[in-house]
Structures are given as C-alpha cells and as structure tokens.
C-alpha cells in the first residue's frame, strides 16, 4: 500500500518507518489526524491511549467521529479504521486515562517516539519532564482551539512559542527544568479568539496532526 511513499523516500527509509515504535496519547481532533497520517505513511507499531468515547460535539473536527461511532470507544473506532487501511498494522489500544500510574519510565522507554496530542496539562508536564530526563523523542501539540489559520502552524521548541496560553502554562510549570524548553512542539503563532468557549474548525487540528507525523518522518529521514 506504500508504493508511492517508497518512490518518494526509498525502500530503506520506508523499512525504518515500518519498524519504528510510536506512542500516541490522545485521539481527539489533533490525535485522530496524527494517527490517520501515521497509518497511511507506513507506520505499523503504534500504541494509542484514550479513555473517552465519541459524541456529537466531535463531528465537526475528529476524523473517527461518525454517526455510527457516537458512544463508541475512541481507541476501538480508530483501530477498526486503521485495519481497513492496512491489515498488517500492530496497533495496541489502551482505553485508560493517561496518568503517572500508566506513564512510568519503564513504559515510556519502550518507544522510539512519543506524540502528545492530549489536552491535559498535567499529563503534558509529566511527559515533558520524563522524556527530557530519559532522552526519549517527544513532540507535543499546543493549543489549536479558537484559531482559524492552519497556515500559521509550525514545528518549533517550547522556548520559542508565543501567543499560546497553554505554552505559557507549560513554561511556568516546567521553569525548573531547562531541558524542557527544548521540547519539540506543534504550535500556532495565531492569537486565539478571546472567549470562554473553545471553538474549533477542522482545518486547524487536522493540520496540527499531520505536522506531528511529519516531524517523526523527517527526523527518521535525517532532514
């Protein structure tokens, strides 16, 4: 199924992608598109973590939210679709809330890359602290709500972000960890709309999810 990918990056690099072991935390608007692009890019060894189910409010932006998946476990809905794309995948589903009991050092060190697509700031802080200490490659997605310009998304480090309330909170919570500021993030320079409700439009989380995958691919390619 990855013939055209092989034409672009070569058989050796595609084999590297096939063998890479990835942990993806969160299957919402960003995480769902990250998982979809991972599967379609040739990644086969992926562990997905999410404890939630799909509901009608997810239909505007979450790729696995469909009329026939409302009320269904996010990890199971994602797995079913992934198998329809590539029957050779080796996806592990964990239908639990990510926390310090689950995200132990022993657990995290099994993975070559970790994608943080969750919206829990405590989990983000935990992951950044642990991955910076254990030297695990982590990329974390920052805020995509109340934004309408996907072209303003980019990959940078936590230290270089601005206009992002979530990034500001992370830097405050990680102020005693200098390595944390070097963490790779997907971030938008767009100033978010100031309102209490978190509005979203699918093009922004969709693009953010694709950028999470592109970071891993280009890191494997050495670009």
The count of domains in the chain is 1
192: confidence class by pLDDT, cuts 50, 70, 90: very high
Helices (H), the chain: 3-9, 11-19, 29-41, 74-85, 105-108, 121-134, 165-173, 203-221
> Is pLDDT above 90 for 1?
no
Q: Check residue 169 and give its pLDDT.
A: 95
**Could you tell me the pTM of the whole model?**
0.96
What is the pLDDT confidence band of residue 217, given thresholds at 50, 70 and 90? very high
Query: What are the pLDDT digits (tens) for 90-119?
Result: 999 999 999 999 999 999 999 999 999 999
pLDDT given at position 170: 96
**Angstrom distance (rounded) from CA 77 to CA 59:** 14
Question: Average pLDDT, stretch 57-72?
Answer: 96
Domain region containing 26: 3-221
Angle between helices 165-173 and 121-134 (to 10 degrees): 50
Taking only the tens place, the pLDDT of each residue in 30-45 is 999 999 999 999 999 9
Separation CA 19–CA 42 (nearest Å): 9
**Average pLDDT of the residues in 16-23:** 97
Q: What's 154's domain CATH number? A: 3.40.50.720
DSSP 1-21: --HHHHHHH-HHHHHHHHH-E
User: Residue 196 has what pLDDT?
Assistant: 87
Segment 201-221 mean pLDDT: 98
């Amino acid at each position: 199924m990855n013939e055209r990918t092989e034409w672009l990056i070569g058989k050796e690099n595609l084999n590297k992608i096939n063998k890479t072991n990835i942990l993806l935390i969160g299957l919402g608007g960003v995480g769902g598109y990250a998982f979809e692009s991972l599967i379609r890019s040739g990644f086969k060894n992926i562990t997905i973590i999410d404890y939630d189910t799909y509901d009608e409010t997810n239909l505007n932006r979450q790729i696995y939210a469909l009329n026939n998946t409302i009320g269904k476990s996010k990890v199971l809905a994602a797995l079913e679709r992934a198998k329809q794309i590539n029957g050779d995948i080796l996806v592990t589903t964990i239908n639990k809330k990510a926390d310090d009991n689950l995200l132990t050092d022993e657990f995290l060190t099994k993975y070559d890359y970790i994608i943080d697509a969750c919206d829990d700031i405590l989990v983000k802080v935990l992951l950044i602290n642990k991955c910076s200490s254990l030297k695990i490659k982590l990329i974390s997605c920052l805020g995509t709500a109340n934004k309408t310009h996907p072209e303003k998304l980019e990959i940078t480090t936590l230290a270089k972000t601005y206009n992002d309330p979530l990034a500001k909170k992370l830097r405050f919570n990680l102020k005693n960890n200098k390595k944390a500021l070097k963490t790779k993030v997907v971030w938008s320079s767009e100033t978010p709309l100031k309102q209490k409700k978190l509005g979203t439009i699918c093009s922004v989380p969709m693009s953010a999810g694709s950028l999470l995958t592109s970071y891993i691919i280009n890191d494997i390619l050495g670009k």
